[in-house]
Structure 1
Amino acid sequence: MYELEYFYEEQCQKLEAMAIEPLPFEDCLCQMLDLVTPEVEGKITLRDLKRCKLAHIFFDTFFNIEKYLDHEQRDPFSVIREAETDDQEVSDWEKYAAEEYDVLVAEEAANNLCHDE
């Protein structure tokens, strides 16, 4: 976990530079352990990551700030739906509906920010 904390500290510095308050490492670590569900408690192995269908989120959290923010701003249930439908082809209608939903959520968030100020 020491190695993960090292990389997460760098992500925190980038977030703070963007005026975004980072999640404490302990909370982030709990989320990642829940995401990966390692076989041995407190130890994440390559085998655990290969077994986990959401390993890309794990790596983005520690290495790619833009994708990490994208995951953090998305509907948490959309990740689960994506994992469940990985084996299925997504129709054009489903893609359109998902894009429109994302636009709607973004507009509502922007409106809430304007009203809060």
Structure 2
Amino acid sequence: ETVIYRIYYYINRSGTGHLTLRELKRGNLIDAMLHCDEEEDINKVLRYFSYEHFYVIYCKFWELDTDHDFLIDKENLIRYGNHALTYRIVDRIFSQVPRKFTSKVEGNMGYEDFVYFILAEEDKSSEPSLEYWFKCIDLDGNGVLTRNEMQFFYEEQLHRMECMAQEPVLFEDILCQMIDMIKPQLVKTDYFTCLTIEISCLQDESYIMLRDLKGSKLSGSVFNILFNLNKFMAFETRDPFLIRQERENPTLTEWDRFAHREYIRLSMEDDVEDASNGSAEVWDESLEAPF
């Protein structure tokens, strides 16, 4: 199941639940399948089929799903990434704006919904992720991120910084930084092609469209600034270790690096549990992992 969810996340861009021939041709699924045939170690097939990637996704879900009913509510998700996300962005996720939940239980996301979330959260350089988070921030759904919308989400970040006794970065300063990072293109025809954009927006450079985000390599950092405090702080400090990792392996995606780090962490935790004579919670073999 996890493999299928990953394939549809990246390739089924129309969100219909059915892969079209055009989507198949534009995607890299065939190449990934050929790679599977040629490669003996499935973990070296990073696109879709890696067991290590599945293990990370499933374990992250299991950690949040404290009662193990295969459902996650808001309070579960707010703990993701050591409470990295804001309540406002979690509310938007559970309003099902970026994607309708497949879960039939109201107020809960299922495993498939979580797979889409974690792929979007941990690799904000991909187009599916940019579209996911753009819908979250675009409160009125008019296809434009305005100053007020960005400020609405950043307010909670600012409050969290103050609570942690960190020097707060004022929104006016952070807005200038985000605009410099994205360099949105102001096109006069926007007024005629998108009637929902007000004239005031066209005269104000403090708005961002989806095409602007897709044209910038720093788009993910903009979203982190707005709702992920841990990643925002990491971006501000410019961790030299992470920068060196990126330079050494430029072909790896943000997701690949995240999954690799998490797999090592989880493996080390498993080794510690084994050494302590299995004092951890007993695995219920009746619950089959949805690989």
Scaled to the shorter chain, the TM-score interval is 0.5 to 0.7
1:22 positional shift: 1.1
- Structure-1 residue corresponding to 2:151: 5
Question: 2-side partners of 1:65 and 1:89: how far apart?
Answer: 27
Q: 49, 65, 86: which is aligned to 2:229?
A: 65
Question: 2-side partners of 1:67 and 1:54: how far apart?
Answer: 13
Q: 209, 220, 224: which is aligned to 1:56?
A: 220
Gap runs ≥5 in structure 1: 91-117
- Structure-2 residue corresponding to 1:43: 207
- Structure-2 residue corresponding to 1:102: none
Gap runs ≥5 in structure 2: 1-146, 187-204, 253-291
Matched letter for residue 26 of structure 1: E
- Structure-2 residue corresponding to 1:14: 160
Question: 2-side partners of 1:89 and 1:60: how far apart?
Answer: 22
Normalising by structure 2, report the TM-score: 0.27
RMSD: 2.5
- Structure-1 residue corresponding to 2:174: 28
1:75 positional shift: 6.0
Distance 1:88 1:74, change over 3 A: closer
Matched letter for residue 25 of structure 1: F
Matched letter for residue 70 of structure 1: A
Matched letter for residue 67 of structure 1: K
Sequence identity percentage: 45
Question: 2-side partners of 1:36 and 1:75: how far apart?
Answer: 21
Question: 2-side partners of 1:5 and 1:30: how far apart?
Answer: 12
Matched letter for residue 46 of structure 1: L
1:50-107, Cα deviation, whole Å (9 max, x unpaired): 111111100000010000001011169x87xx5xx6x9448xxxxxxxxxxxxxxxxx
Normalising by structure 1, report the TM-score: 0.64
Question: 2-side partners of 1:32 and 1:64: how far apart?
Answer: 15
Question: 1-side partners of 2:172 and 2:233: how far apart?
Answer: 18
Question: 2-side partners of 1:69 and 1:75: how far apart?
Answer: 10
- Structure-2 residue corresponding to 1:74: 238
Distance 1:88 1:68, change over 3 A: closer
SS of the residue corresponding to residue 23 of structure 1 reads coil
Aligned residue pairs total: 85
- If each structure's helix is expressed as a fraction of its own residues, which one has the higher value? 1
Structure 1 segments, 4+ long, off by >2 Å, are: 87-90
1:8 positional shift: 0.8
Question: 2-side partners of 1:6 and 1:23: how far apart?
Answer: 15
The 8 Å contact of residues 175 and 206 in structure 2, kept in 1 or not, is answered as: no
Matched letter for residue 174 of structure 2: C
